[in-house]
Structure 1
Amino acid sequence: AAGARHAPLFLRADLTDIAALRSAIDQVRAAHGPITVLLNNAANDTRHSIEETTPESWDAGVAVNLRHQFFAAQAVAPDMRAAGGGSIVNFGSVSWKLKQGGMPVYTTSKSAVQGLTRSLARDLGPHKIRVNTLVPGWVMTERQIKLWVTETSREEIAKGQCIDELLMPDHIASMALFLAADDSAMCTAQDFVVDGGWT
């Protein structure tokens, strides 16, 4: 039906399976038309020690925290070139800036996101495609609260942040919308930190 083109579309895909990722992007394109905004916001910050990290777990961590961002950008870049521009927002993390331990693969991958952003921004800039990194602080998602936020960690956040308020998903969404919109037309190759002044 004519109205079905703009109906909401929710797909599940294993982002570590690049063929599945590309297939999901193709399905989104078929349902909604050319893709001109990409939010690369998928990661796994499960804690892990240096000692327990294996070559296999290292590769798996990089796959879920970094690799898919490049291949998703690669998949949508032709749409953005054809449209005369677009916006790619790669999600990073303040964890590596804070020298946070206990998850070396995650923090390494997240630091690399900012390098990926700058590389893509240079290569895609001539096509008016801007690429930025959105760098969240410790966002109070259900997962974080359930698994890792304790009274002690909350006190550490309060000491670190200039604004002693809980960082919520809406705060991150607002920055993502700014970076997706034409309001950020001349912003590219930048890191936009939303962390209440922690870093």
Structure 2
Amino acid sequence: MSRSTHSSAVYPSLKGRHVFITGGATGIGAAMVEAFAHQGAQVSYVDVANEAGESLSARLAAESLPKPWFRACDVKDVNALQAAITQAMQTHGDVHALVNNVASDDRHSLESVTADYFDERMAINLRPALFAIQSVVPGMKRLGGGSIINFGSIGWKAKQGDYPCYAMAKSAANGLTRGMAGPLGKDHIRVNTVTPGWVMTERQINLWLDEDGEQNIQRNQCLPDKLQPEYLANMVLFLAADDSAMCTAQEFTVDAGWT
């Protein structure tokens, strides 16, 4: 993503603050890593895509931005995820903003689902969010507050039927948000959901965007332009910054009016 695509908004409260992102090497995650770096934040992120993560961090450092901290990590391994968060905090201090972005929308039918496959889908699309929150909350309390941003999806709202496990996990993002906002609010920790529409990441374009998909976009979106990763990054910047100080337990949808 080029620098020119970034919003002109600058959030002074983000400068120097530690932001941790899961699934940050490609797609929406990479757009968020870059956007936070341009705000002067100390960004840490994990992803299974080691080469892409190393390349992204090196590129941003070459642009004279704070070099993001990156570790290759399979979030299905809870111990590895929590160890990575601990290591990141040893480098950048307690986490002010956590972005639970990691996900995999592999297609599957109801008939094909086994117990093992179900567990594996939850281990990617749901479980990491809770254990990442568990890891960062003590530090957020020490900081006097923080922001947790869980990623949902419009897929289940649109009644898309070709990934029931993904739909189930993503609908649970709202439950996690609302279930945590109450008990964490007393410590000035805000918890919100960002729900993207059909974002034109490289993966989506390569795997799913065909002529029918193009027609679906034109038929369902109110706005004619394709949804790009940076539009999601702009919403996340706002929710991580102090400008959204009284926003919690809410869902913020960025889908060009699809739902």
Tell me which interval the TM-score lies in, with the shorter structure as reference length.
over 0.9
Counterpart in the other structure of 1:142: 202
Opposite residue 50 of structure 1, the aligned amino acid is L
- Is residue 162 from structure 1 mapped to residue 222 from structure 2 by the alignment? yes
Answer yes or no: is 1:64 the counterpart of 2:110: no
Name structure 2 gaps, 5 residues minimum. Answer: 1-41, 43-65
Q: Structure 1 residue aligned with 2:167, among 80, 102, 107?
A: 107
Q: Which amino acid aligns with 1:134?
A: V
Distance 1:119 1:175 in 2: 22
Counterparts of 1:44 and 1:120, CA distance in 2: 23
What's 2:190 paired with? 130
Tell me the residue number matched to 2:180: 120
Q: Which residue of 2 is the match for residue 11 of structure 1?
A: 71
Alignment map for 1:47-86 (pairs within 5 Å): 47-86=107-146
Selected match of 2:247 from 174, 184, 187: 187
- Tell me the amino acid that sits aligned with residue 252 of structure 2: F
Rounded Cα–Cα distance in structure 2 between residues aligned with 1:117 and 1:93: 14
Deviation track 1:126-170 (CA, whole Å, cap 9, x = no partner) reads 000000000000000000000001111111111111111100000
- State how far apart, in whole Å, the 2-side matches of 1:15 and 1:23 are: 11
Q: Which residue is equivalent to 1:196?
A: 256
Distance 2:113 2:69 in 1: 37
What's the TM-score, normalizing by structure 2?
0.74
Shift of 1:123: 1.2
Tell me, in whole angstroms, the C-alpha distance in 1 between the residues paired with 2:73 and 2:171: 24
- Secondary structure at the aligned position of 1:121 is classed as helix
Deviation track 1:2-44 (CA, whole Å, cap 9, x = no partner) reads: xxx9653111111111100011001110111111100000000
- Dislocated runs of 4+, deviation >3 Å: none
- Structure 1 vs Structure 2: percent identity of aligned residues? 53
1:11 alignment partner, SS class? strand
Cα-Cα RMSD: 1.0
Written as runs of structure 1 = structure 2, the 5 A alignment for 1:85-104 is 85-104=145-164
Look up the equivalent residue of 1:130 and give its one-letter code.
Answer: R
2:85 is matched with 25
The whole-number CA distance in structure 1 between the counterparts of 2:199 and 2:108 is 20
1:10 is paired with a residue of what secondary structure? strand
Letter of the structure 1 residue corresponding to residue 75 of structure 2: L
Spell out the pairing of 1:26-45 with structure 2 (5 A cutoff).
26-45=86-105
Distance 2:89 2:67 in 1: 12
- Return 156-165 or 132-141, whichever deviates more: 156-165
Query: Normalized against structure 1, the TM-score is what?
Result: 0.96
C-alpha separation in 1, matches of 2:177 and 2:162:
25
